[in-house]
Amino acid sequence: MIRVIVDPAHPDAAAIAAAADVIRRGGLVAFPTETVYGLGADALNETAVRRIFAAKGRPAFNPLIAHVASVEQARALVTRWPAAAHRLTTQFWPGPLTLVLPKAWSVPLSLTAGREQVAVRMPSHPVALALIKAADRAIAAPSANRFTEISPTTADHVARGLGDRVEVILDGGATTVGIESTVIDLSGERPVLLRPGTLSRDTIEQTIREQLADPEPIIDAQAARPSPGMIERHYAPKARVLLVDTSSVRQVLAREQLSAHVGAIVMSAHISDAVIVQQLPADPLGYAQALYASLHTLDEANCSVIVVERPPQTGEWAGVNDRLRRASHPKSDSADETDAV
């Protein structure tokens, strides 16, 4: 694995060209987007796409997002571009928004996990955009972590998680959004919010002048999933995560400390210095930006329990609350444990 440091705002053209060559040859390149680091490969090359699944240890039922550098490039991958897609991309692209639409014939089923829909996103990170343009093709990229582990927001996280499973890591520093893109399915009759992110539901609904539906709950764990983002235990650290109200943080910490190496992620709660504390900003965007790095840090400190002060349950916190809920999902309850590595 080669790690190349690039200026996140003005990446060196030679470094980008070399990484783009790896993509064109069917290899894997990890690169920063504004949300999290992606593990990229040529989206229309079946062999390259299969390498992504192998490197992540990801089950084949999880489709990948095709990253593009323009609306035109996205439109070439789909058969319909409804008014909602036009409105959303005009407003939020490039940015942390992924749209699911009926796929064009040229899009391989290995990318879409056998579905007739494909997910497309135009990221805003200059390194991501430069790489897609230099490769001159759409780049398939899931988050650059092993399946069910915490998504990477730095090149260090990628290197520790994937090591030599990736050929090149473009190191553009820490990502700014910090949690994965909002995913909206526009392929059916009603738009469905498959994965909440940092764009609020209200803003999206105002933009498309329509209400978002919620995904169908998964009843049969073996059945095809509307979205792999719905796998319950996802984004999870090695430690057990306890999500607790502000008023009980101190009490839970005191109890857990008797038998565990405890870490804490708090905003307002004032706690003793006997535990490893990650103090996060009390605003949803600042919190999202720092959340995964905090989980990585507490994992590296070998915490066996992480106590998290529950953020407010309001719409602007939906993306953060979704990730915290999944991170705190008990391991034994997961129907997907057998799928995990």
Q: Applying CB under 6 A, which residues contact ligand TXA?
A: 33, 35-36, 38, 63-65, 96, 98, 100, 112, 115, 117-119, 121, 123, 141-143, 180-181, 183, 185, 194-195, 227-229
The answer to the question of residue 143 lying near Mg ion (CB under 5 A) is yes
If the CB atoms of residues 75 and 121 are measured against Mg ion, the closer one turns out to be: 121
Q: How far is the CB of 23 from Mg ion (least distance, A)?
A: 19
Residue 110, amino acid: S
94 binds, among Mg ion, ligand TXA, none (CB under 5 to 8 A by kind): none
User: What are residue 64's phi and psi, to 5 degrees?
Assistant: -110, 160
If the CB atoms of residues 63 and 191 are measured against ligand TXA, the closer one turns out to be: 63
Distance CA 204, CA 182 (A): 10
In order of 26, 66, 155, 276, 310, the CA distances from 259 in angstroms are: 49, 45, 34, 15, 22
If the CB atoms of residues 119 and 241 are measured against ligand TXA, the closer one turns out to be: 119
The DSSP bridge partners found for residue 102 are: 117
List the one residue out of 288, 246, 283, 240 whose CA is nearest residue 263.
240
The two tokens of residue 243 are: 């999500």
The two tokens of residue 38 are: 């992606």
Q: Which residue is nearest to Mg ion (CB)?
A: 143
Distance CA 5, CA 332 (A): 40
List the one residue out of 232, 41, 51 whose CA is nearest residue 131.
41
If the CB atoms of residues 64 and 127 are measured against Mg ion, the closer one turns out to be: 64
Q: How far is the CB of 66 from ligand TXA (least distance, A)?
A: 8
Q: How far is the CB of 288 from Mg ion (least distance, A)?
A: 15
User: Three-state SS for 268?
Assistant: coil
Residues making up the chain, counted from first to last: 341
If the CB atoms of residues 138 and 183 are measured against ligand TXA, the closer one turns out to be: 183
Of 7-15, 45-53, 79-87, 138-146: span binding Mg ion (CB under 5 A)? 138-146
Q: How far is the CB of 91 from ligand TXA (least distance, A)?
A: 17
In order of 13, 253, 265, 299, the CA distances from 257 in angstroms are: 51, 6, 15, 16
89 binds, among Mg ion, ligand TXA, none (CB under 5 to 8 A by kind): none
The answer to the question of residue 321 lying near Mg ion (CB under 5 A) is no
228 binds, among Mg ion, ligand TXA, none (CB under 5 to 8 A by kind): ligand TXA
153 binds, among Mg ion, ligand TXA, none (CB under 5 to 8 A by kind): none
Distance CA 337, CA 306 (A): 20
Instruction: Give residues in contact with Mg ion (CB under 5 A).
Output: 143
